[in-house]
Amino acid sequence: MSEQGMNSRRGFLRTLAGLPAALSLFAGGAHAAKEIPRRVLGRTGLSCTMLGFGAAWLGIYKMEEPALELGRRALELGVNFFDTARDYGVSEERLGKVLEGKRKNVVLMTKVLGRSRAEAEKELETSLRMLRTDYLDVWQIHSVRVQRELDMIFAADGALEAAVAAQKAGKVRFIGVTGHKDPEIVLKALAGYDFDTVQMPLNLVDPFYRSFEKTVLPELVKRKTGVLAMKSMAGGWMLQKGVARAKEALPYVWSLPVHVLISGVQTLEQLEENAKLAQSFKPLSEKEKAALLEQARPKAGNQTEYYKMKPDGSL
């Protein structure tokens, strides 16, 4: 074979060898979406997608398959933070099916409603069984509302004892608390124990009524506590009352010192929209935040944030 022919053959082989890689890049570019950005969950060191999947609706769906499809789609979109609770009906059981074989790829959190050690330990064993895992990344004491509940949780043989024991046993990596009624109670919880995470309402109307953003958030930042935002659309009421749409409400929350915004979605369309908002997120300027807050102010209060303590102090 001539030298020219040999060179041509070598060139052809080099081209052929590079073809699979080129095709792979082309295919990836055609289908791969931008990744959901990640943030480190406070001092836990856990790398979490800034959009978390709130799995409450997995327990509300009457038919199992649509619920499982919702969870699986969240995984496909790259969400790695999953939130559920023992009292969300069959949510834990269904989420366990969604995450089977993928447990090591996600940050898994559930919550305990029992206030005594015995109740909490029983709930933990059930949660682990339903979720098909032998450990939780985060276990949170659920929905602390009044001082009486705090007293029970912090008492000898209270739920906190169960959480600390579970952590020592390797069943729980980090311990958190949640509250949506009264920010002052959450501050009291933090005074009693240095929780690793706190889950609380953060949204455009929160600053004007029993505000978690103004009272609790600065303390969490100071402590380097993991900040988990919930009720970012005020349970859907912000949309119903014309306060804001998701494309305005979610970026506001992500522009705060928040690590994960946990969104409970009912439909695949809502999930897809939230994922796109996370993928394209750019922090809002102070001017943009101020404009959104001014727009939200007239609808603030218990009329929109129905889940907070009422003005007269009743639950």
Local mean pLDDT, 10-residue blocks, the chain (315 residues): 42 38 34 82 99 97 96 98 98 99 98 99 99 99 98 99 99 99 99 99 99 99 99 96 97 99 97 98 98 98 97 94
The answer to whether position 304 is within a domain reads no
What is the model's pLDDT at position 34? 86
Q: How many structural domains are present in the chain?
A: 1
Residue 85 CB coordination number (10 Å): 23
DSSP letters spanning 229-270: EE-TTGGGHHHHTTS--HHHHHHHHHTSS-SEEEEE-SSHHH
Q: Domain limits at 281?
A: 36-299
Task: Give the CATH number of the domain where residue 160 resides.
Answer: 3.20.20.100
Q: Which residue has the tokens 């509250």?
A: 179
Q: Is residue 31 part of a domain?
A: no
- For residue 249, the model assigns a pLDDT of 98
Distances (CA, A) of 307 to 222, 234, 310: 27, 8, 9
Whose tokens are 């949660």? That residue is 127
Find the helix packing angle between 268-279 and 246-254, rounded to 10°.
50
In a domain, 120, yes or no: yes
What whole-number distance in Å separates Cα of residue 27 and Cα of residue 47? Answer: 28
Give residues with Cβ within 8 angstroms of 78, minimum separation 6. 33, 35, 36, 49, 275
Could you tell me if residue 4 is inside a domain?
no
Is the overall model pTM greater than 0.75, yes or no?
Answer: yes
Q: Is 314 helix (H, G, I), strand (E, B) or coil?
A: coil
Q: What's the rounded Cα separation, in Å, for the pair 309 and 306?
A: 8
pLDDT recorded at residue 51: 99
Q: Estimate the crossing angle of helix 147-154 against helix 183-192, to 10 degrees.
A: 20
Residue 8 lies in a domain: no
